[in-house]
Amino acid sequence: MAAELFDSRRYLIPFRSSLLPQIFCDTLVIGSGVAGLRAAISAAEHGEVIVLCKDEPQNSNTAWAQGGIACVWSPDDTADAHVADTLTAGAGLCDAPIVRRVVRDGPARIAELLDWGMRFDHGPDGVPVLGREGGHGLARILHAGGDATGRELQRCLWQRAAKAQGVRLFTRCQALDLITPGSEPGSPVMGAITHHPRYGLQMIWAKATILATGGAGVVYRETTNPRTATGDGIAMAYRAGASIADMAFVQFHPTCLYLAGAPRSLITEAIRGQGAHLLDHDGHRFMLDEHPLAELAPRDVVTRAIIRRLAARGGTNVLLDCRHIPDFAARFPGIAALLARFDLDAARDPIPVHPAAHYTIGGVMTDDHGRTDAPGLYAVGECACSGLHGANRLASNSLLEGLVLGELAGRAARERTHPGEAAPANGNGKAPAGWFAPARPAPIPIVSDIRPSEHGELDLSDVESSLRAAMWRNAGIERTGARLRDADDMIGFWARYTMDKIFDDTRGWQIQNMLLVAWLIARSAAWRTESRGCHWRTDHPAPDQAMAVHDCWRRGRTACEARPVRADDPSLRAAPDRPLERA
């Protein structure tokens, strides 16, 4: 039933394209976080760009990022070491060519940021200070403002994009759906239908469309994500016929502030990198019993250890002990200010913490230049599944991914804006056959007819709160087949009374997108009868080598398509194993 409801709905709203305002550009970027802005800066070199910001820039996942940017920057570090740490965390599902490309190109993107005025934290010698986080064998994390890296990165890229010739920034403008001339998968994407509170519905036609809409953490009751992270890009891509991959893999951050009445604010992993300890309520440092890296073990290990500890000893939270860290408030001013609002002082008080949904690893399946299998559509950042993270994201690799693959996707979009030129080569040096077909943006008649609903109505607030609670309970940190089937049944019930409705506001559209994305997560997790990375099935606690593949889902297809993990590419091993000279 759920499949029929989600697969039958091509557009969220009824419309006739000829009756709506028409806007044209070469490249449309949907999303204004690190990946979207970096893609826009690159795409502006070969045409006019429109960037859509669903809310205000400060409400993106990038701006909320407390962690830093992982990059080989120290003479003591090597690209091979960073690659190895990433592959280990990814638990057999990383696409090695993507990992090597991102790690190899990272130093150039960091040098570029420094040239653009990015204010990284420096030591007395003027060299950026490097921190260490979970899963990394060495200190290779660059931070800004201690725990405000995302905010500073957003500022830097936003200012650079605003100065770029031919870039227009549309704030508080939501994309509802991608435009395709046909309703079947395989139709080329030609832009998006959008809504602005002042200008209403608009058709934005583009030669290339880049999704950079962030993740879907808000489908869970406990989340570190801003309210905008409702999975819109993944849902739009699915309706447009693109393949969605690896949705079972949702990373839960182990340390979020857990106080009654307080938001589930992230307590950055960099604090554990500075030596903070996790204690149970008996004062026992339990991570020493769980993993050789203790608190710096991969996030899924720490998260499950906390859940097991709470189940064995009771209680609602564990404690993050930072009392032995000198100058805590100076090192982490944002966290110190947050704690002060609740009369907590990290120099005096252990911080009550609990896991929460943090990062959507799965998403729209792409190649190493952000191309999807929907012609004309690219995806970058958290809404994409590039293969970098595999089954579990290594800490602070996401901002690096946004910078590197955002630049590559923006550059690759030239194959659409200047179709007579040669396509950029992919990782093996060959042009990707069949990934694009030249097309010019031109208004074509598109009619979306949606029959009036024959079902009753459910209260949207009830649907949203029930969905988030059910996902946390049934498709959260630990899963079973029975609970995942229950989640599928519940999502199908809510969808029956929600997906056939026509809404005229952002909240209704977001909840429809949340239902679709939650269904994809539950569907993927039910299919993956193994435990791997951050996907943990208590009824299938071991990994299954037969499932060391990407599970891909596409509208109208009754079963998933298993795509092999891309093997290592020897040509990328020849890259220099040292960072660029510091700017």
Active site residues: 299
Task: Give 343: exposed, middle or buried? Use CB within 10 Å, 0-12, 13-18, 19+.
Answer: exposed
Task: Give dist(CA 311, CA 309) in Å, integer.
Answer: 5
Tell me the residue ranges of DSSP E strands in 366-434. Answer: 377-379, 384-385
Q: What is the number of alpha carbons within 13 Å of residue 542 lying toward its C-beta?
A: 3
Which strands make up the sheet holding 244-245, listed edge to edge? 384-385, 363-365, 244-245, 549-553, 561-564
d(CA 486, CA 492): 10
For 325, half-sphere exposure in the C-beta direction (CA atoms, 13 angstrom radius) is 22
- 8 Å CB contact between 549 and 562: yes
Closest by CA to 318, choosing from 329, 326, 307, 328, is: 307
Distance, CA of 94 to CA of 343 (rounded, Å)? 43
Helices 34-43 & 397-412 angle (0-180, nearest 10): 30
Q: Helix or strand or coil: residue 99?
A: helix
Farthest-apart Cα atoms in the chain, separation: 69
Under a CB-based contact definition with an 8 Å cutoff, are residues 58 and 148 in contact?
Answer: no
What distance in Å separates the CA atoms of residue 250 and residue 362, rounded to the nearest whole number? Answer: 7
Whole-number Cα distances in Å, 158 to 38, 46, 66, 128, 253: 9, 19, 18, 22, 27
Query: Hey, CA dihedral for 511, 514, 520, 523, is it positive or negative?
Result: negative
Beta pairing partners, 50: 28, 168
Q: Which of 241, 233, 234 is nearest to 52 (CA)?
A: 233
Q: Are 271 and 325 in contact (CB under 8 A)?
A: yes
Residue 103: φ, ψ to 5°:
-65, -40
Q: Which helix (H) or strand (E) holds 167?
A: strand 167-171
**Phi, psi angle pair for 321, to nearest 5°:** -95, 110
Distance from C-alpha of 405 to C-alpha of 109, rounded to nearest angstrom: 10
First to last CA, the chain: 57
Please report where in the chains the tokens 């998968």 appear, as a residue: 185
